[in-house]
């Protein structure tokens, strides 16, 4: 799993650890912008978190996950809308901009990523129960 976020990379890595997601590494948006496509491709297997920087343009953030099998992006600003739209799962918060909320697949009503962990656990429970009866 790769996480692209507008938050600080170290904060995002801590959130990963808190919810049980292994964090292999952090490469910020400025570093990604300076990478060629081949360098980015080489960095992806060893990187989990891609935090954007103020200097990262929104079209560059969508480049981080082109052709990947899964991408979860959290963002709440107008500049996050393109990447939220292109992500497999775009996550915004209720206090975010209307553009970000419209582009996101999931809008959190509380600024608490713990609800995502609870949702994943509940989804797995429902899936397991469904498979028992199928």
- pLDDT-based confidence at residue 87 (cuts at 50, 70, 90): confident
Against a cut of 0.85, is the pTM above it?
no
CB 47, CB 27: distance < 8 Å: yes
31-74 pLDDT, tens digit per residue, is 877 888 888 888 888 888 877 654 455 555 555 555 555 666 77
Handedness of CA 114, 95, 11, 48 (dihedral sign): positive
Structure tokens at 103: 């582009």
Distance CA 21, CA 60 (A): 25
Neighbours of 28 (CB within 10 A): 16
20 pLDDT exceeds 80?
yes
CA-based diameter of the chain, in Å? 51
pLDDT recorded at residue 62: 56
């Amino acid at each position: 799993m790769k996480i692209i976020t507008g938050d600080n990379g170290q904060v995002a890595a801590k959130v990963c650890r808190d919810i049980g997601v292994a964090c292999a590494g952090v490469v910020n948006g400025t570093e990604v912008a300076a990478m060629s496509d081949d360098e980015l491709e080489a960095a992806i297997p060893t990187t989990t978190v891609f935090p954007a920087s103020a200097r990262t343009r929104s079209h560059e953030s969508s480049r981080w996950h082109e052709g990947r099998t899964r991408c979860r992006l959290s963002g709440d600003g107008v500049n996050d809308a393109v990447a939220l739209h292109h992500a497999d799962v775009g996550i915004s918060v209720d206090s975010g901009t209307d553009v970000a909320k419209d582009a996101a697949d999931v809008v959190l009503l509380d600024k608490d990523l713990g609800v995502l962990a609870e949702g994943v656990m509940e989804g797995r429970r429902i899936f397991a129960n469904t498979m028992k009866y199928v």
